Amino acid sequence: KARSDTRHFLAFYNSELSEWQREQNQLERELREALADGHFRLYLQPQFDGRGQLRGAEALIRWQHPQRGLLTPGDFIGVAERSGLIRPIGYWVLEQAADLLHGPLQDTCLMLSVNVSVHQLRDDDFLGHVTSLIRERQLAPERLVLEIVESLLVTPGVTSRLQALRRLGINLSLDDFGTGYSSLRYLQEFQVDEIKLDKVFIDPLQHQDDVPLARSIIALGKALGLRLVAEGVESAPQRQFLQKHGVDILQGYYLARPEPVPSFLDRL
C-alpha cells in the first residue's frame, strides 16, 4: 500500500512538475518575443526629499502582454533570471534610464534608480556595458543609482565589479535592506551610498507612533553616513515619522504610484 501511494504521489508530482516546466518554457519563449517586439514598458515611481520636493524616480519594468495585459515584475522576473534573459532585459532598462537622463531629464538634477539583478552583476560584460552607456550618452554618473538586493550569489567577482561601478561615480543602493540574512555583513563587505528601508519596516508605522526597529535602522544608516530611502510609504503618519527622523528620500503609494514615463515628465 505504502509503495503504491508513493508511486501515485510521484506520478502526481512529476505531472505537476512538468506542467510547471511547460509554463516556464512558454513564458521564456514569450519573454524572448517581448524583447524582440518591444513589449516592455518603463514605469517610473517618483521619489521625494524630506521637504516634498521631487528628487528622482525608481525605474520599474512592466510587460505589455498582448493577451494578458500589463504584467508586473512578480509575474516574470523569476523566469527571466532563471533563463538568463534578465541580462538583455536589464540592459534594456538601463538603456531607457540612460536615454531619459540624456534627453528629457538632462537639464534637471533628478536621479534615476535602476534595479540590477545579481545575474547581471555576474556577467563579465556588465561593467563594460555600463561604462560605454555612460560614455555614449555623456551621463553624469552620480545621477544614476543601481539598486541591488542581498543575495547568496554575491561572489568576490561581483563585489569587485560593484566597487568598480562606484569608482565610475555611480551610486549603489542596498534595496530591501534588512530583509535578508546578512544585511550587516553586506555593509561590511562593500561600500554603498544608500540603503532602502524595506516596506516591512515601514508598515508598522501605520498603527504605532514609534517603531524602535525602524528607528534603529535609520540611526545605523546615519551613523554610517549613508543616504536613507524609505519605500512603501502609504500614509501620512508614516511620512511624518520618517521626516521627523531625518529619512532623506520617501517613495510610496501615498506620495505617488509608479507611472508611465510621459506622466512623470508632466511633473517637471
Residue 120 engages Mg ion in binding (rule: CB under 5 A): no
Residue 171 engages Mg ion in binding (rule: CB under 5 A): no
Grid-cell match 521619489, residue found: 47
- Angle CA(123)–CA(128)–CA(130) in degrees, nearest 5? 95
Q: What secondary structure does DSSP assign to 2-54, as a single string? A: HHHHHHHHHHHHHHHHHHHHHHHHHHHHHHHHHHHHT-EEEEEEEEEETTS-E
Q: Distance (Å, rounded) from C-alpha 186 to C-alpha 26?
A: 36
Contact 56, 94 (CB under 8 A): no
Binding segment (CB under 6 A) for ligand C2E, from list 1-9, 20-28, 96-104, 232-240? 232-240
Among 30, 176, 194, 248, binds Mg ion (CB under 5 A): 176
Instruction: Give the residue with the Cβ less far from ligand C2E, 17 or 200.
Output: 200
Instruction: Give the residue with the Cβ less far from ligand C2E, 231 or 248.
Output: 231
Among 30, 176, 194, 248, binds ligand C2E (CB under 6 A): 176
Partner that binds at residue 93, options Mg ion, ligand C2E, none, CB closer than 5 to 8 Å by kind: ligand C2E
Residue 123 engages ligand C2E in binding (rule: CB under 6 A): no
Residue 31 engages ligand C2E in binding (rule: CB under 6 A): no
The candidate with the shortest Cα–Cα distance to 62, out of 83, 82, 80, is 80
Residue 27 engages ligand C2E in binding (rule: CB under 6 A): no
SS3 content of the chain, % helix, strand, coil (to 5): 50, 20, 30
Residue 194 engages Mg ion in binding (rule: CB under 5 A): no
Q: Distance (Å, rounded) from C-alpha 170 to C-alpha 168?
A: 6
Residue 229 engages ligand C2E in binding (rule: CB under 6 A): no
Binding segment (CB under 6 A) for ligand C2E, from list 71-79, 153-161, 165-173, 240-248? 71-79
Measure CA of the first residue to CA of the last residue in the chain; give whole Å: 71
- Minimum distance of ligand C2E from residue 74's CB (angstroms): 6
Residue 46 engages ligand C2E in binding (rule: CB under 6 A): no
Instruction: Give the residue with the Cβ less far from ligand C2E, 75 or 137.
Output: 75
Cα–Cα distances (Å) from 181 to 21, 133, 173, 252, in that order, read 29, 33, 17, 25
Q: Distance (Å, rounded) from C-alpha 230 to C-alpha 232?
A: 7
Q: How many residues bind Mg ion (CB under 5 A)?
A: 5
Q: How many residues bind ligand C2E (CB under 6 A)?
A: 23
- Minimum distance of ligand C2E from residue 247's CB (angstroms): 14
Partner that binds at residue 90, options Mg ion, ligand C2E, none, CB closer than 5 to 8 Å by kind: ligand C2E
